[in-house]
Amino acid sequence: ETGVTQTPRHLVMGMTNKKSLKCEQHLGHNAMYWYKQSAKKPLELMFVYNFKEQTENNSVPSRFSPECPNSSHLFLHLHTLQPEDSALYLCASSQDPGWAEKLFFGSGTQLSVL
């Protein structure tokens, strides 16, 4: 398997649930990202990890908690979400976290919060 794989593809959760999104990259990249994509809005960068270390946290609410156990795996732990958190959550990776780097995206997790 190659590329960036995200699971699950779809997730419906209540506001009191706890769930986790998983991302795995098979490209040997050093940087991994979480993005939020809402309809008709620009992609929002949430978190950046470089060599397992978090380098960016763009004022994301604490109900989103990332985890990067190694450079190939990235998780996004979710708890007590709000309906406005419903969106497509995209994981991406790049060789290094530079601005000119080519981003490789997963297919995303479509999240619905009821």
Partner 1 sequence: TQLLEQSPQFLSIQEGENLTVYCNSSSVFSSLQWYRQEPGEGPVLLVTVVTGGEVKKLKRLTFQFGDARKDSSLHITAAQPGDTGLYLCAGAWDSNYQLIWGAGTKLIIKP
> Minimum distance from CB of 97 to partner 1 (Å)?
7
Nearer to partner 1, 17 or 110 (CB): 110
Q: Of these, 24, 87, 97, 111, which contacts partner 1 (CB under 8 A)? A: 97
Q: Is the dihedral of CA 82, 57, 77, 25 positive or negative?
A: positive
Stretch 19-58: interaction string toward partner 1, x if CB under 8 A = ---------------------xxxx-x----------x--
Cis peptide before 8 (omega within 30 of 0): yes
- Tell whether the torsion through CA atoms of 74, 80, 82 and 83 is positive or negative: positive
**Under rule CB under 8 A, how many of the chain's residues touch partner 1?**
20
One-letter identity of residue 71: S
CA–CA distance from 87 to each of 29, 64, 94, 110 (Å)?
A: 26, 13, 23, 6
Binding residue for partner 1, selected from 34, 108, 111, 113, defined by CB under 8 A: 108
Burial class (CB in 10 A: 0-12, 13-18, 19+), 21: buried
- Choosing from 18, 26, 77, 102, the residue that interacts with partner 1 (CB under 8 A) is 102
Residue ranges binding partner 1 (CB under 8 A): 4, 40-43, 45, 56, 90, 92, 97-100, 102-108
